[in-house]
Chains A and B, each alone.
Chain A
């Protein structure tokens, strides 16, 4: 692990010893690594992402980071803190304000052998670059018949934050999730963030990595295994966060936390909910979801994004296609309100799913409360 300390900057550059100052900036990860044998350490998602980027950049000189404010400003959300100092301006690029420009440039660099990590300040701004993500990154390997592979990662915060309004709050998991050629990952915990980001950077296919601004500051316990620099999570496997036998609740990103809280409340009422953290929107882990539904016979999908054509719609359909006979109740979809996100705090709260919504939906599938249609 101390191999991180000396590495070349770019190709043919001078070795860059870590100064005390930059050691300080990666201290949380370093001090966590020292205590292998003691109990699980806590790590924020922000530090998890930072350490993952740091380790991957150290291990492979072709990996470089690019985006607005990632260098001097240490990252708009401080995810890339300390990286400019450690790796230099050739590997941590502050870009002009042109999402279309730097996404295209990242794709071009990936075409010719580098491994860019392109940061969008929020995926809402990725709209200005979506042509490059879809038409240049996702489809190139196919259109060129394998001649042009695009080992690029597009990452950044996705979905609603707190009080940022319509143009900063949309969840793009369904849009990117529908496009063949892309892989779409949605970490929840710090372990997810570390393992999935490392897997994404190593993956030869283009990956859209959807983080969440409100999760950056949250702390999660991380196992010793997760702190190792070779740690990697498989892409396309969901995680069962909480086992249960009465109802399956699928969720991703911040909603996993809400689903877990809902499961706690449901447990007190005698309903044992199984919470699945999807981790990956594309490829979607249909076998884990179906196996769970075949066990519990009930399904509630939870997402923050808009309901129409959402991730929940896809999950519901694939469960109906493969496990129809096992369902004991209609599937329930919990999603954000079908409106652009309002700003006022009370309105915003009504526009995103809350824990109570998940609890009520789970109860409806267990016939503990009147179905919504019948109540109308």
Chain B
């Protein structure tokens, strides 16, 4: 016991000696009455050890080692200390910050459930409003018809945006074409707004020759450079750090543009979410993180996804300015994204927007959500909380829309879509050379050899090869 205490005293003393040397002064010099060269055969007295420990503790608490000044200051009776990272006020009242707030973060909305503005304010003009509404309707119909096409076996997969039309269209409307989009997969509306045609959507779903993706990916994995919409990849939340990297690139270019990236409530659990928000704040880049909190990640409800007050409070943890908006209110989203864009570009900061909504449809055509949630809940949100209907009420109350315009729009969109599908179905599939291109910038030798070998095999055994696929 004596021996080990003596040894530890040497270790501690030597450590402290180095630190003291750097400080020069120490308040607690009085405790250093015994010299280190004394060999104590008797156990060190307990009170002495006590002082030791206190000394150690207070030295450790006094911040960085390499400053000789005294950094305890007394401000207005409160003790404040300069820890690495900044000044922190002390308190003698021990209290834990609660895991849940007394009141949840408020949700910004402009229109009430009946589509009437809650407070009088300058909102979007007629032209933009009608364009937004038309796109929301188009998105809705596109979802319905492609979903049916999958059920009929004409495409292999589809996923709908039901209930999130406002998030898609209104956010896109508040941006410019120069802003880069890094989507998750439930944002085809943003691409639709930017001018992607129904035919182009259909081509991708059918994976035909005209598909910009050259038949490489599953349906709904759209991507288009000319629309500044980065190709969808199935992995969750990987687009978040990508968005930050691209924003860094934009910042270095000093462009009047920002990056906007979307993800769901489930995506906020991924490690990439943490890294992206943390990094974006540290690097001070112009990026807007839009979380579509629609209550469900396939069958996982948000109560099983996180225990925080949604996603908006996480922004504060990373030093990111954030807001919660009503995801079914197109005007609220428009305003929030517009303001966020201004801040992101002029102040070089990331912004987090949490849009609360409900995923009315199933996760995808591979899912039947009635298995894990009540059908009447789905029905409630589909009817009473429909964002499209709510917006329609607003434009109708302004006299900008009518029942005839509605039915005319719906029938013409439907017709155009059915035609696009029929056409896309008939277009040839991509040729087999597309198996080997784009793996690298220039196809390497082994792939060239493999293509030659494949063509020879097809020529030799044509009966094993489908006749309607071009070679």
Give A145 to B439 CA distance when docked, in angstroms. 9
Query: Chain B's nearest CB lies how many Å from the CB of A116?
Result: 8
**Cβ-based interface call for B336 (8 A):** no
**Cβ-based interface call for A108 (8 A):** yes
Query: Chain B's nearest CB lies how many Å from the CB of A372?
Result: 32
Give A341 to B232 CA distance when docked, in angstroms. 39
Per-position contact with A for B216-249: 1 when CB-CB < 8 Å, else 0? 1100010111000011010100101111111111
Is A142's CB under 8 angstroms from B438's CB? yes
**Cβ-based interface call for A122 (8 A):** no
Q: How many A-B residue pairs have CB under 8 A?
A: 151
Question: Which of B249, B276, B440 lies in contact with A141, CB distance below 8 A?
Answer: B440
Question: Which of B252, B282, B283, B439 lies in contact with A181, CB distance below 8 A?
Answer: B439
**Cβ-based interface call for B50 (8 A):** no
Is A110's CB under 8 angstroms from B233's CB? no
Stretch at the interface among B153-161, B398-406, B441-449: B441-449
Per-position contact with B for A174-187: 1 when CB-CB < 8 Å, else 0? 00000011010000
Is B216's CB under 8 angstroms from A142's CB? yes
Contacts of B231 in A (CB 8 A): 140, 143-144, 147-148
Is B241's CB under 8 angstroms from A100's CB? yes
**Cβ-based interface call for B180 (8 A):** yes
Give A96 to B282 CA distance when docked, in angstroms. 9
Give A141 to B143 CA distance when docked, in angstroms. 28
Is A108's CB under 8 angstroms from B245's CB? yes
Query: Chain A's nearest CB lies how many Å from the CB of B234?
Result: 9
Give A369 to B76 CA distance when docked, in angstroms. 87
Contacts of A110 in B (CB 8 A): 245
Is B221's CB under 8 angstroms from A143's CB? yes
Query: Chain B's nearest CB lies how many Å from the CB of A285?
Result: 10
Task: Scan residues 339-367 of chain A and give those whose CB is less than 8 A from a CB of chain B.
Answer: none
**Cβ-based interface call for A258 (8 A):** no
Give A283 to B272 CA distance when docked, in angstroms. 30
**Cβ-based interface call for A330 (8 A):** no
Is A108's CB under 8 angstroms from B440's CB? no
Is A96's CB under 8 angstroms from B278's CB? yes
Task: Scan residues 273-288 of chain A and give those whose CB is less than 8 A from a CB of chain B.
Answer: 283, 286
Contacts of A204 in B (CB 8 A): 441
**Cβ-based interface call for B275 (8 A):** yes
Give A14 to B45 CA distance when docked, in angstroms. 64
Task: Scan residues 421-471 of chain B and give those whose CB is less than 8 A from a CB of chain A.
Answer: 434, 437-441, 444-446
Contacts of B393 in A (CB 8 A): none
Residue of B nearest to A13 (CB): B252
Is B242's CB under 8 angstroms from A104's CB? yes
With A96-B278, A111-B245 known as contacts, the answer to whether A283 contacts B238 (CB < 8 A) is: no
Query: Chain B's nearest CB lies how many Å from the CB of A166?
Result: 23
Give A110 to B199 CA distance when docked, in angstroms. 30
Is B241's CB under 8 angstroms from A108's CB? yes
Give A113 to B252 CA distance when docked, in angstroms. 11
Is B245's CB under 8 angstroms from A104's CB? yes
**Cβ-based interface call for B271 (8 A):** yes
Is B279's CB under 8 angstroms from A113's CB? no
Is A181's CB under 8 angstroms from B241's CB? no
Most A CB contacts (10 A, CB to CB) among B212, B225, B230, B283 go to B230
Is B242's CB under 8 angstroms from A111's CB? yes
Is B221's CB under 8 angstroms from A145's CB? no
**Cβ-based interface call for B213 (8 A):** yes
Number of residues of chain A lying within 8 A (CB) of chain B: 48
Is B238's CB under 8 angstroms from A12's CB? no
Is B240's CB under 8 angstroms from A104's CB? yes
Is B233's CB under 8 angstroms from A135's CB? yes
Most B CB contacts (10 A, CB to CB) among A11, A101, A283 go to A101
Question: Which of A112, A146, A147, A286 lies in contact with B245, CB distance below 8 A?
Answer: A112
Is A100's CB under 8 angstroms from B245's CB? no
Query: Chain B's nearest CB lies how many Å from the CB of A97?
Result: 10
With A105-B244, A106-B245, A136-B235 known as contacts, the answer to whether A146 contacts B437 (CB < 8 A) is: yes
With A105-B279, A283-B445 known as contacts, the answer to whether A112 contacts B249 (CB < 8 A) is: yes
Give A204 to B443 CA distance when docked, in angstroms. 12
Residue of B nearest to A152 (CB): B245
Is A98's CB under 8 angstroms from B279's CB? yes
Question: Which of A98, A109, A149, A286 lies in contact with B275, CB distance below 8 A?
Answer: A98
**Cβ-based interface call for B254 (8 A):** yes
**Cβ-based interface call for B253 (8 A):** yes
Give A135 to B445 CA distance when docked, in angstroms. 23
Question: Which of A10, A12, A132, A142 lies in contact with B241, CB distance below 8 A?
Answer: A132
Most B CB contacts (10 A, CB to CB) among A90, A108, A111, A131 go to A108
Query: Chain B's nearest CB lies how many Å from the CB of A267?
Result: 33
**Cβ-based interface call for A114 (8 A):** yes
Give A132 to B236 CA distance when docked, in angstroms. 11
Most A CB contacts (10 A, CB to CB) among B211, B221, B275, B444 go to B275
Give A205 to B249 CA distance when docked, in angstroms. 18
Give A149 to B243 CA distance when docked, in angstroms. 15
With A104-B245, A140-B233, A283-B446 known as contacts, the answer to whether A145 contacts B214 (CB < 8 A) is: yes
Is A108's CB under 8 angstroms from B213's CB? no
Task: Scan residues 181-235 of chain A and give those whose CB is less than 8 A from a CB of chain B.
Answer: 181, 183, 203-205
With A101-B241, A135-B233, A145-B216 known as contacts, the answer to whether A109 contacts B248 (CB < 8 A) is: yes
Interface residues of A (CB under 8 A from B): 10-12, 90, 93, 95-96, 98, 100-114, 116, 131-132, 135-136, 139-149, 180-181, 183, 203-205, 236, 283, 286
Could you show 16 A-B contacts with beta carbons less than 8 Å apart? A101-B272, A102-B279, A104-B238, A104-B245, A105-B245, A109-B249, A111-B230, A111-B242, A131-B238, A135-B235, A136-B242, A143-B213, A144-B231, A145-B223, A147-B223, A149-B441
Q: List 12 extra interface pairs beyond A146-B437, A203-B441, CB under 8 A.
A: A102-B275, A108-B242, A112-B245, A112-B250, A114-B248, A132-B238, A136-B242, A143-B233, A144-B230, A145-B214, A149-B441, A181-B439
Smallest CB-CB A-B distances: 5 pairs: A108-B245, A101-B275, A104-B241, A108-B242, A109-B245
